[in-house]
Amino acid sequence: MNDLNERQAQLQQMVEDMLREAERQGASGAEAGVNFDIGLSASIRLGVVETIEHTRDQGMGVTVYFGQSKGSASTSDFKPEAIRDTVRAACDIARFTSADPCNGLADAELMAREQPDLDLYHPWNIDVDQAIAIGIECEAAARDLDPRITNSEGATLNSHRGIQVYGNSHGFIGGYPSSSHSISCAVVGQQGDSMQRDYWYTSARSPEDLESAQTVGRCAGERTLARLGARQIKTCEAAVIFQAEMAVSLLRSLTGAIRGSALYRRSSFLLDQLGQQIFPACVHIHENPLLPRGLASAPFDAEGVATAPKDLVRDGVLCSYVLGSYSARKLKMQSTGNAGGVRNLTIDPGELDLAGLLKEMGSGLLVTELMGSGLNMVTGDYSRGAAGFWVEHGEIQYPVEEITIAGNMRDMFAGVQAVATDVEQRGSIRTGSWLLRPMMIAGS
């Protein structure tokens, strides 16, 4: 812990030095950030070590303002002369950049005055031999599951820890250590002429919160086996369930449509929808950046603005955009503390688990994989390749592939029938599976 505190103090001093140097070189305002990260990655394939990587990354960046002209520069060199040269490069850029009235630091009164400990730092004291053993155990759990598992893309363990510090010339400076760990596995199965692959992974701030290596491997194998014998279905219109991991992409589309840059460019299908009903009244979508051990938790955003829990959608009504300071000024609004994105965005689940959601649907499509990026952000038109399972009488009947699902994102949001309790928690977005009203499904 003393080493950690000493490292954080060193990084904080570097930020202070950059801000001081920017002021010395004539900048009217400046912001700077420094990060330091170390990690271990071990990949196993077919029981043999494929790669071992030790990483040690560091970087610092500074943005300076001369009035409302802006310049930025970065370096991975932590020497004192590099600080001076990097600030000079940023200042040179700013002096030759046109002024933009929306440029500048985030408003001083929005800075994080308190920086709570969010329990984000849990280093994994694991050596290479232990990492290899976990990877071998994970892959073996998948390969030994069934003779139809015929090949493997491997199992990988990742463990990273680091510190980031940010400060600006409002007098704000803050930093915190964090860690992240994961175990993943992907395998290939074959049955007759049918060959399929699938994967599973676990991710957490603390190693004790990870699923076991055996669980990850077994799940990867089971998911692969379930897809064997997949077929096309006839083109139809049917109800659709987006499994939780796929439903994440729907919420990501929502945040993309209410992000400031899309709004001030007028390139969003949710333009001018603040205060309007865009989901059924039962839908509540909110953000909690202060969630302990959350994978996207942070006490302040990328501009030093204090983060806080807030609703994005309440009773189906859009009640907040996702704004940093620049986009907020373009829209004549105030930053929502979302410079750098959303943090632990959550849609409240209903009372049904996935099995209950399948029974509620009766017949239709369960989507477990999406391909391509077929969303027109301006119109909301949606079309993506998909794979999954056909459902009849509330039960999975057979796997399907080589299909396309299509609709309009606004209609899809308005058509949410229920959200299941199988909440995906391995990223910045948390959601269960979504049951939607019928969509067009293109097949054979």
Domain ranges of the chain: 2-227, 230-444
**Token duo for residue 282:** 């039962």
Q: What residues of the chain score a pLDDT lower than 70? A: 1-2
CA distance 248 to 431: 6
Long-range contacts of 90-98 (CB under 8 A, 24+ apart): 90/22, 90/62, 90/63, 90/64, 91/22, 91/25, 91/26, 91/27, 91/64, 91/66, 94/27, 94/64, 94/65, 94/66, 94/69, 94/70, 95/66, 95/69, 95/71, 97/69, 97/70, 97/71, 98/69
Q: Would you state the pLDDT for residue 432?
A: 97
DSSP state letters, 112-146: -S--------------HHHHHHHHHHHHHHHHTS-
The rounded distance, in Å, linking the Cα atoms of 391 and 403 is 15
First to last CA, the chain: 61
Query: What whole-number distance in Å separates Cα of residue 17 and Cα of residue 376?
Result: 45
Stated as kind and residue range, the H or E segment containing 426 is: none
Residue 3 confidence (pLDDT): 79
Q: Say what the pTM is.
A: 0.94
Decide if 124 contacts 181 (C-beta within 8 A). yes
pLDDT, residue 2, reads: 60
**Domain 2-227, CATH homologous superfamily name and number:** PmbA/TldD superfamily (3.30.2290.10)
Give strand ranges (E) for 192-348.
194-204, 236-242, 285-287, 310-314, 317-318, 345-347
Predicted pLDDT at 380: 96
Separation CA 62–CA 38 (nearest Å): 22
Radius of gyration of the chain (CA): 24
Q: Looking at residue 372, what is its pLDDT?
A: 86
Report the pLDDT value the prediction gives residue 269, as an integer from 0 to 100. Answer: 97
Note the pLDDT of residue 154: 97
pLDDT value at residue 215: 98
Helix (H), strand (E) at residue 351: none
CB neighbour class for 319 (10 Å; exposed up to 12, middle 13-18, buried from 19) = middle
Residues 6 or more apart whose CB falls under 8 angstroms from that of 49 comprise 42, 43, 132, 135
* Whole-number pLDDT of residue 4: 83
